Structure formats: C-alpha cells, structure tokens
Amino acid sequence: MRRLGIVSLFTVLFITGCGGTGGKSTGNGAGTTADQPVTLSVFFKCFQVTDEEFAKFYVNPTKKKYPNITLQNVACTGPNQYKDMIVTNSLPDIIVDGVTNLRDLIDVDIPADLNELVKQHKFDIASMNKQSIQFVKNFAKNGELYSLPITLNTFATYYNKDIFDILGVPYPKDGMTWDDYVGLARKLTVQKDGVQYLGLQMGAFNRLPSQLSLPYVDAGSNKATIQSDGWRNVFETWKTIHDIPGNRTPEAKNLYSGRNRFVQDKNVAMFPDIAMPEGNLTDYEKTGGKWDIASFPAFKDKAKVGVGVFANGMVIPKTGKNKDAAFRVIANLLSDDAQTEAAKNGWMPILDKAEVQKHLLENSTLYKGKILRRSIITTWPRLIR
C-alpha cells in the first residue's frame, strides 16, 4: 500500500528498468534482426491515447532508439474488442492495459511469459517499482511474468476554485479524510442563481476498497468477503456521498461520470480520482475554468494510506510474430533516457533516481506556478515506497 505524499498528480507514470540490448531474434517469434524494418501494432485496451500522446510518449522514443521500428496505434472501440481479435486472429504485437485487468487477458490465454525475454535482454527488473511488479507476479501460477508495468496511475482531488469562491467555502487541504470531504460537499451541494452545484462527484468505485486492501474473496474459504466491516465502511462512505441532497445525478449510470461533469459542465466542486491527462485540463482552462489539486481522500483510521496499485502495463501476446522487437520497444520505453524525457513532458517516472525525478514537468506550461509542484518532487520517494 502506498503512503500519501502531498498529492498525486498524473494519469500515468512510467515504471522503469534498464533498456534491452539489440541483436538478432532468438526464437521468440521475432523473425527479424534488430535493424530490419518492422511495424508493430500497439493496442490500448482500457483507455484512449491521442495521436499527440502516442507520438510523444511511444513513437518518438522508439524511433530515436530503433529507426527501423514503426509503431501503429490500434485504438479501443469496445470492451470486448480483444475477444474479437482472437476470433479474427488479429491480436496486436503489444497490448497496453491496466494490470488490474490482467486477469481478463490471462483467462483467454493471451499473454506470453516475458521471463525468457527479460533474461535474454538482461533487463533490470530490480530497478522497477516493486509493488507493481509483485502485483503482476500475483497472477502467475508458476512464476510467469505476463506484463511489464510501465505506467502507474496516481490519484488526486481536483477542485473548482470558482465554485468555492462563489459559495465562500475554504479550499480543501492536503491530508483530508473522506469524512472531511463529505463535510465540505454538504456546503457545496447547493443551487444558486439557477445553477445546481454538485459538491463531490466520484470516479470508479474500486478506488475505495483498494485503500483498505479489501479482498473480494477469502483465500481460505473461497467465499465473498463483502459482509466484512471493511466493505461495510466502503459501501457506507459511497452511499453517504451520493445521499447528500442534490449531489446525486438523475441517472444511476452517471455515478461514474464525475470527470465529464467536472471538466465539461463545470458544476462539480470536487472530483477525487485518477489524475487527469493534461489535455482535459488545458481544455478546462481554455474555457475559463480555474482549478487546483489536493491529496486524494483517506479513510480516518488509515489517514496516511493511499490508493493501491493501479498500473498500466505492456503485454506481448503468445501469438505475436515479433516478440523480440516488441520487447525491445518496451525495454526502451523503460530506459533512463525515455523516462527522463517522459518526465519533462508530464509522465511521472517511478525511478529511485534523483537525476530522472528532478525533470518532472519541466516542459509543462499547465502546471507552472502550481504551488504543489515543488512539494511533489521533494516528497516523491515517500509517494512510491
């Protein structure tokens, strides 16, 4: 379980190791040498990546290291697209997906075991975030490594400064609990001048149980654990938030759409969730929105405990014909050079290396002047251990 620092910022973080070596394929379905032209398809299973983000964080560092490798973005068009790919024999060379969703891919026998490629390329897993690697290893029956985590989603509470100013309510502070946020939300869920303000809107439900390390099934009895005190605490917190008069949206399916209402409608005072891409916030500011961030809410009996592992990882399918080239791409994206450049552009790298960490947000105009930027850099080691 990660401890909360001052605040968590970005929607994705790189988790890194040493880059892979070049050389010829060694029978891992590559069929190509390190300098032969090859096009690799990259499928983003659980999220959308803009053309600009794909170029900046994936294509450009790959071309710099391997001019012969071309990456092709395969956008997600639906939740079951990967199953259709199995039927049509069109699985990509690399799948990018949240490690919490890894079970979906394992159940249909998609991921290759990366251990042999790690060994062949002398890839340094030891320098990567240990919690994320262990999370992936927990899916293995016999020590398999089905994914290499490359991004770790961090969490923050975004708040609309205009709403707080209009209603005369003090801004949230770092270190607040869910009870503290509920108290603020009651003051901010009001109708004024014909506008219904929503004090506290939520993202996906699974953020809360992860803070309490709640299992869904008891390992010993193989029975559901949702009757436990921990789960009761989570359900009561969720219900309390949505039972605030005026805070619940008319349609139940919109309970998880807090981000859209925060960014587009601008009637949401506070939105705690996975940190947003810069694109969302740039558009928000262009339309006159004023925002800031505070730490993600904690439960009062675990006041210094943050959200659990929510990482994005890269999977190479068993059926891939270019496994060696695909692994070289992944290893390079996890290299010090790629991580440093990514940090400058807004991806927070998970490296125990100050020379990489110090470059966080150097190229970001969005976060310039934000009070918490210096705090995030100085408290970084506490955030990731």
Q: What is the pLDDT of residues 80-114, one digit of tens each?
A: 899 999 999 999 999 999 888 899 999 999 999 99
How many alpha carbons fall within 13 Å on the CB side of residue 54?
16
Asked if 310 and 100 count as a contact pair (C-beta separation under 8 A), the reply is yes
Fold of the 155-302 domain: D-Maltodextrin-Binding Protein; domain 2 (3.40.190)
Helix (H, G, I), strand (E, B) or coil at 86: helix
Of 270, 243, 246, 250, which is closest to residue 259 (Cα–Cα)? 270
Which pTM was predicted?
0.75
Mean pLDDT for 285-309 is 85
How many alpha carbons fall within 13 Å on the CB side of residue 286?
7
Mean pLDDT for 43-62 is 89
Whether the predicted pLDDT of 347 surpasses 90? no
| CB within 8 Å of 188: residues ≥ 6 apart | 163, 164, 167, 169, 197, 198, 199, 200, 269, 270
Answer with the residue of higher pLDDT: 202 or 355: 202
Boundaries of CATH 3.40.190.10 in the chain?
Answer: 38-153+310-372, 155-302
Tokens of 255: 């309970």
Fold of the 38-153+310-372 domain: D-Maltodextrin-Binding Protein; domain 2 (3.40.190)
In the block, which residue shows the tokens 């917190």? 237
Q: Kindly indicate the confidence band of residue 10, based on its pLDDT and cuts at 50, 70 and 90.
A: very low
pLDDT for the residue 307: 79
